[in-house]
Structure 1
Amino acid sequence: MADEPETNPFPVPPPMPEAPPVMPYVPPVDPYVPPAVSAMDFEEPVGGLRAEERTMGMLCHLLAFSGYLIPFGHLIGPLVMWLVKKDESAFVDANGKESLNFQITLTIAGVVSGILCLVLIGFLLLPVVIVGGIVLTIIASIKANEGTVYRYPVCLRLIH
């Protein structure tokens, strides 16, 4: 038995092949995921107006709804906004005047409709004045936020 070569009960495995170079993990791109920086961050002013001007123009109209909470708030809200911001922006100035003129017109129409309630026709006119005022104020607010000055269709132009 001396002539037999010694066998190792634990044979040495062959050397491992070289591993390919490690590439950094790149997650797959999902076409439905929005980019990290949205286009809104670099939004161009609408019609040359800043977002603040459009917001103030919109508030000139929306502050008229404060009249449902505060007596004469429909006049005071737009008046205060217009007086504070009219010198800063021609857009806010135009929207403030338009809102005030319309609210004055609504006040006159409401008083006339109230008086005509004595003759029964006012009961038909009063809901038209109220609903028309709400709808047109919302439309004007949306238009102001889009950067346009909305001209109310039935409005006395008392403030120029």
Structure 2
Amino acid sequence: MEIIQQTPHVREDKTLLVLTHLSQLLHYVVGFGGLIVPLIIWAANKERVQELDENGKAILNFQISLIVYALLSIPAILLLGLGLIALLGIVVVGFVLPIVNAVRVNRGEKPNYYISIKFLS
């Protein structure tokens, strides 16, 4: 008996890649979902859409890094309010970088979340 392995059809879908990056902005619109929605999109389509695995890992690393930075800046609030400046920076970077990387992915470039800690590789 011969076993035939079928490989899933991998397609290129820049629209889904852009929407995955922009779905991080749900934190600012709804108040939650900026980590959950990209995680669901990545888990459901990482083997079917070209480059989604790489982009999804970059997004999840970025979102987890923002959470870690926010948790670290909370005790820093007691140190002359430096934590408030850090939280403001996290909010600005968390809003700007998904938009910048959505544009980069639409142009065919790789995403660059430069402040990310590599949790997933």
Same fold (TM over 0.5): yes
Deviation, 1:90, is 3.4
CA–CA distance in 2 between the matches of 1:154 and 1:134? 13
Q: Percent identity?
A: 31
Query: Match for residue 94 of structure 2?
Result: 133
What are the within-5 Å matches in structure 2 for residues 41-60 of structure 1?
A: 50=12, 53-60=13-20
1:40-119, aligned counterparts within 5 Å?
A: 50=12, 53-68=13-28, 69-71=30-32, 73-119=33-79
Runs of 4+ in 1 over 6 A off after TM superposition: none
Amino acid at match of 1:86: K
TM-superposed CA distance for 1:89, in Å, is 2.2
Note the residue ranges of structure 1 that are not aligned, 5 or more in a row. Answer: 1-48
Normalising to structure 1: TM-score of the pair?
Answer: 0.63
Match for residue 105 of structure 2 among 137, 144, 147: 144
Pick the structure with greater CA Rg: 1
Secondary structure of the residue aligned to 1:103 is: helix
Determine which structure has greater relative contact order: mean sequence separation of CA pairs < 8 Å that are 6+ residues apart, divided by chain length.
2
Q: How many residues align?
A: 109
Amino acid at match of 2:119: L
For structure 2, the residue ranges without an aligned partner over 5 or more in a row are 1-10
More helix by share: 2
Q: Residue 70 and residue 131 in structure 1: after superposition, are their counterparts in 2 closer, same or farther (change >3 A)?
A: closer
Matched with 1:154 is: 115
CA distance in 1 between partners of 2:23 and 2:61 (Å): 14
